[in-house]
Amino acid sequence: MTTRTLLLLAALALPIGGCAPWVNIPAQTGDAASHDPNLETVQEVAVVAIKAAIADSPVASDKFQVIMPKGTLPATYELITPKISPNAMWSTDAATSGLPTVEVRRLSIRGSDAEVDVLRPMEPGSPVPQVLTVTLSWDAVSSWQADRVKVWRVRAGEAMRTTPSDAPPQLQR
């Protein structure tokens, strides 16, 4: 191969390589990943995950609010909420609006794979939150896509705790 061919191949590979971040939200002790919820890739992953979570079981017939992880800027909310749904509104505090809430609690991106934990109402109009894990993948043709939506049967408070406990989570029956 000539030098010119190698340079052309490297230039074509750059945009693909640029789509492979390592992100942990919230931050994990000792990691070197990014923790910025305002990154474009994080926004794209969150939008697809929330859309998959509400497609699986609609949140409400009317308005609902979206809550992103701590540190999300108003400009990010302004970009993502119209992409999620015309009924999506944003708020940084679920307690102030009284609307059904869809909340991104954990987001992990590893190159072209991602996982997002989302809280949503168990059923339309229900105040009881339900935990879902949305597994996503990225490819050059279709960008980010949801591959699987896993609905957990554990109580949201138990699934989302951040400190270890001796007591195992209690399953809902």
Q: Determine the Cα–Cα distance for residues 63 and 101; give it in Å rounded to an integer.
A: 10
Domains of the chain: total: 1
User: Is residue 63 assigned to a domain?
Assistant: yes
pLDDT at 156: 62
The model's pLDDT over 88-134, given as tens digits with 9 standing for 90+, comes to: 998 766 555 678 889 999 999 999 999 999 999 888 777 788 999 99
User: The domain spanning residue 143 has which CATH number?
Assistant: 3.10.450
140: left (phi over 0), alpha (psi -120 to 50) or beta: alpha
114 DSSP β-pair partners: 109, 136
Is residue 136 a part of any domain in this protein? yes
Pairing of β 64-67 and β 101-110:
parallel
Q: Is 43 part of a structural domain of the chain?
A: yes
> Is 171 a domain residue?
no
Q: Which amino acid is at 166?
A: D
The range of the structural domain enclosing residue 33 comes to: 20-159
The verdict on residue 168 lying in a domain is no
Instruction: Evaluate whether residue 165 is within a structural domain.
Output: no
**Does the pTM exceed 0.75?**
yes
Does any domain span residue 85?
A: yes
